[in-house]
Amino acid sequence: MGSSAEQLYNLSPAWLQNVLVSAYGYRLYRKRYGGDFRKILDQVRASRQWSDEEIQAYQDEKLFEMVRHCRQHVPYYQRLFAEHGLHEKDITSTSDLHKLPILTKQELRTDPESFKAPGFPGFMTQHTSGSTGTPLVLEVNALTYRLAMALVVEHEEHHGVPFGARRATFAGRMVQPSTDMKPPFARMNRAENQKLFSSYHLNAETFPWYRRELDRFQPKELIGYPSAICDLANHYRTGQVTPEFKPTAIITNSETLLDWQRDIIEQVFRCPIWDYYGTAEYVLFAGQETSGYRVNPIIGVTELLRGEDHSEPLGQLIATSLTNTSMPLLRYEIGDQAEPYNSTDSDHSIINQLGRIAGRLDDYIETPDGRKIGRIDHIFKGLENISEAQIIQDAPDHCTILIQQSPIRPGADQEKQLIENFKARTANRIGVQIQYTSMIPRGANGKFKAVVRQTSCVK
């Protein structure tokens, strides 16, 4: 929703907010599931049964078509192919992908317009801060957008949750200002039979309301951030109460699902978790199975690069779009790490199944009244001139936002918006300041955490 719509929403009573959420939900429903969605979903269902040979044949054909499209229509790739003396006939199979250089986020962020194909307009614009706080704006065509929706629907369906079943969502949505601690803390999206629960209002005092509402709603599925659902499960454990509903499945996404989180969640809700990994750039989707993560072959080609000697168990995830003609990405470095499912995969960079996915591992912020705020990278979305950023909770009631110096610094209005976004998600209970730095420290794996809680803040 735009800023004027958000203002109207925040000024409305809860009953009207439910109407507005459903109205917006119906608008999204048509965008997500209209057009040829059913045909796309049928193909996703069928692809689950494809043999390795069928996957290879499909990806080779679609890759050749995409490379030809890039050479003919996309300025960035026209220059790249000319510089490297390449023609689409040089890349007729996924085994030829190594002939192309790896595309970094920095290259994409520096000149995003050169990746757009004139005459192939986007169906929607995707704004993302990325797993490393790097803002990106991407154009996505209708096929790719609806394919991404179909992949989630099929993943839920495969694990026993039919399309349209009652869902309780615990993610980053602000259903009401975080300073408003009066229930209700959820809003209903009737378009998708989905109740949106706030992750920003849950603490020991408000938990009884959440418990009663979940028991009343009887969701067939819990879906959302692992940290938020684990926080909910911990309140059940602390209160020594058992949910009076039993979901068919719990679907987690957007964060790395940790083993200890899985144990707590599955014990409390008495059903399995089926995690999935997707990217905001719509180039990769991997859904968890009984063992490992199955990489969907339709949306893209996935590579796992682990170095020549394979001495490290984790490799860099690289993905190539097979569907997004509006803004195609070839050999795109996602910025997350994973490990192969089988040791026999170690000699192959093209991969159809993954083991552990180690990206997106963030700490959370904890407010003085005990609310745990995860995936706070939403505060950076839509802001310009922020190349990388990190949030450090350096006191129980204070955070510092580190921003890496860049040639063009965010303006005063951007800084103000960033602080307002932060305060909106922490109920204005935590002080915040912005600091600029020449480089944000990395961990041993070369990445940095988007959120860090210092030892003095860990209870």
Q: Where are the beta strands (DSSP E) in 279-424?
A: 285-288, 293-295, 300-305, 315-321, 332-340, 353-357, 365-366, 372-373, 389-395, 398-404
- pLDDT for 454 equals 85
CB 352 within 8 A of CB 56: no
pTM, two decimal places: 0.85
Residue with tokens 């250089």: 101
* Token digits of residue 43: 């193909």
Q: Specify the DSSP class assigned to residue 86.
A: -
- pLDDT for 26 equals 97
Q: Which of 91, 100, 150, 97 is nearest to 282 (CA)?
A: 150
- pLDDT for 342 equals 78
Virtual torsion, Cα 325, 288, 347, 442, nearest 10 deg:
80
- pLDDT for 452 equals 87
In which residue ranges of the chain is CATH 3.40.50.12780 found? 60-140+294-357
Architecture of domain 3-33+160-273: 3-Layer(aba) Sandwich (3.40)
In which residue ranges of the chain is CATH 3.30.300.30 found? 366-457
Residues 60-140+294-357: name the CATH superfamily.
Answer: ANL, N-terminal domain (3.40.50.12780)
Radius of gyration (Cα) for the chain, nearest Å? Answer: 22
CA atoms in the 13 A half-sphere facing the CB of 438: 0
What fold, for 366-457?
GMP Synthetase; Chain A, domain 3 (3.30.300)
Q: Mean pLDDT, 10 residues at a time, over the chain (459 residues)? A: 77 94 96 97 98 97 98 97 95 96 92 95 82 72 98 98 97 87 97 95 95 98 92 92 97 87 94 95 96 95 82 84 98 90 68 83 80 79 76 94 81 91 89 90 62 77
